[in-house]
Amino acid sequence: MCVVGAGAAGITLARKLLESGIDVVLLESGGIDFDPEIAALNEGEITGLDYYDLENARLRFFGGSTAIWGGRCAELDPIDFAKRSWVEHSGWPVSWAQMQPYYRQAREILGLRPRHPVASDLIAAGIAMPDFNPDRIRSLLWTFDEIHGRFSFDNCRDLRDHPRCRIVTQATVQEVVAAPSARTIDHLDVRSLSGNRITVRARHYVLATGGIENARLLLASRSIMPMGLGNGHDWVGRCFMEHPHARGGRVISGKTWLLLNAFAKRHRVEGQPVAALLAPGIELQKEQGLLNTSLTIAGRQPPHGRESYAMRTYGRLKHEMAPDRRGRRLWMTVKKNAHRILRYSEPARPWVLNKMRLLDVALLVRAEQAPNRESRVMLSNLRDPMGVPISRLHWRTSAIDTHSVAGLVHALDAELRRLNLGTVEAAPWLEGEDWQFDPLVSAHPIGGYHHMGTTRMSDSPHEGVTDSYGRVHGIENLSIAGSSLFLTSGWANPTLTIIALACRTAAAIVEGLKAGEKTRSGMVIEAERTR
């Protein structure tokens, strides 16, 4: 077995396959830590909505973007997997119930409790929560993985020391080369920046390089298939999704202390950190044709105010400092200290500043984005130092994305009025269809760095790129892992689902071996050094 990419998905796959007695070679384009020359391979073009520079929007070294991950964990909701008549291209080929065994494995991998906490657990812990009608507004929770660098090279000694695992760093795949029949993959062409080349042959290959890079690799592998691998029906790269951020409005009167205390800070429930958010009720989604979008409530500078010192400092640490060991350590130290301060200063600080009219009680939107074929990853005419075409991201939102936030904001206003907790002033942009970012609403004002949907799963090759286990349609020995498989994005951060899907893909490969499938058996790796 050859796994390409040593992030959360690739490392999880490697471990599961090794546990089942399968030999694994794990290829990582980067080294064991950040290298700016290798990071430059992430460069790309932006032609759609404004987005972060692609060079900085993901990390290319062992452990991947989990090196600076905030640790937020949540499962997708059952409705996220369902076919929704009002959401084009929705309906996963796997159900929420079928995912539960793999979510349990993912929770164990991330050190989380077996059961995801719910809002009633906060109430039981003594935290006052608004008594919203759950058909209109749901109070939901994130949990957090508190182990920084869980997937770092230092924390993967089990892989490093395993006699049947070969880790190759600074090994960038230039092309996934198909056999002449295009029914199987023959080998991988791999190169380092220093010019070393190897050819990797395996019985089965898994691409786990992220939501942008998975699509780029398939599109760039054109020596046999001119449109790229798995792209016979023009789905590779399409339906790129993020969790776009925005300011949904503000609470302008009422019991803002209760709201800030419930939603603007982290709490601890049975020893685990949690944070609350709001999403539209399922009945409201069906009634108004809304996405499963979300928002939180927190103190923020007004729309025409100035960026706070704290947000400016955090942004510089996160975006301007090199994410090497030293930079990550400093960033995490600042982040942990900030959480400690906020734990004791919230909600008093924003409440007082709001009373002084220096701070808004703002609605921070972390939205679901609907699948949109015109939102896509393509290939540029430019090439990186390895000779591979760089990515071109054409990110587009849809009218339903804005409509869904507006529906949630108006429902929240109605519920706050009903409970005598306050009123909401909706952001003016929600009256239109176009998305509007706000640099003062978050240190990550555009989105969550969540790259989803570009190699979507489907039962038919006419509707996507892979089957429900991540195997590329029409290619017997090529699979995909990661958030590029997602059909829809929900409100939940993707890492927990990424790991759960990787567990599911690994189980399918192992089951195929047991069944004697020749395309998945005898995963012997052969590496040939060439000049």
φ, ψ at 353 (rounded to 5°): -65, -30
Q: Has residue 319 got a pLDDT over 80?
A: no
CA distance 518 to 10: 23
pLDDT at 522: 35
Confidence of residue 438 (pLDDT cuts 50, 70, 90): very high
Count of H-run helices and E-run strands, the chain: 14, 20
> What is the percent of the chain with per-residue pLDDT over 70, rounded to a whole number?
89
Could you check whether the bond before residue 347 is cis, i.e. omega within 30 degrees of 0?
yes
User: Is the distance from CB of 435 to CB of 356 less than 8 angstroms?
Assistant: no
Q: Count CB-CB contacts under 10 A for residue 348.
A: 12
CA distance 118 to 415: 20
Element containing residue 11 per DSSP (H, E): helix 8-19
Element containing residue 385 per DSSP (H, E): none
Q: Would you list the domain boundaries of the chain?
A: 1-42+59-110+150-240+450-531, 116-144+245-366+398-434
Output the CA–CA distances (angstroms, integers) from residue 360 to 8, 130, 411, 424, 432, in the order listed.
Answer: 37, 20, 20, 11, 23
- 275: closest CA among 290, 260, 286, 291? 260
Q: Which residues contact 516 (CB under 8 A, 6 or more apart)?
A: none
Q: Has residue 530 got a pLDDT over 70?
A: no
pLDDT at 515: 74
The tens digit of pLDDT for each residue in 182-232 reads 999 999 999 999 999 999 999 999 999 999 999 999 999 999 999 999 999
DSSP code at position 56: T
Helices 8-19 and 495-514 meet at what angle, rounded to 10?
A: 30
State which CATH number among 3.40.50.300, 3.40.50.2300, 1.10.10.10, 3.50.50.60 fits the domain covering 1-42+59-110+150-240+450-531: 3.50.50.60
Q: Has residue 332 got a pLDDT over 60?
A: yes
Pull the structure tokens for residue 76.
């997708």
Q: Has residue 316 got a pLDDT over 60?
A: yes
The tens digit of pLDDT for each residue in 469-488 reads 999 999 999 999 999 999 99
Backbone conformation region of residue 53, classed left if phi is above 0, alpha if psi is from -120 to 50, else beta: beta
CA distance 146 to 359: 30
User: Is the distance from CB of 349 to CB of 267 less than 8 angstroms?
Assistant: no
pLDDT at 305: 72
The tens digit of pLDDT for each residue in 136-183 reads 999 999 999 999 899 999 999 999 999 999 999 999 999 999 999 999
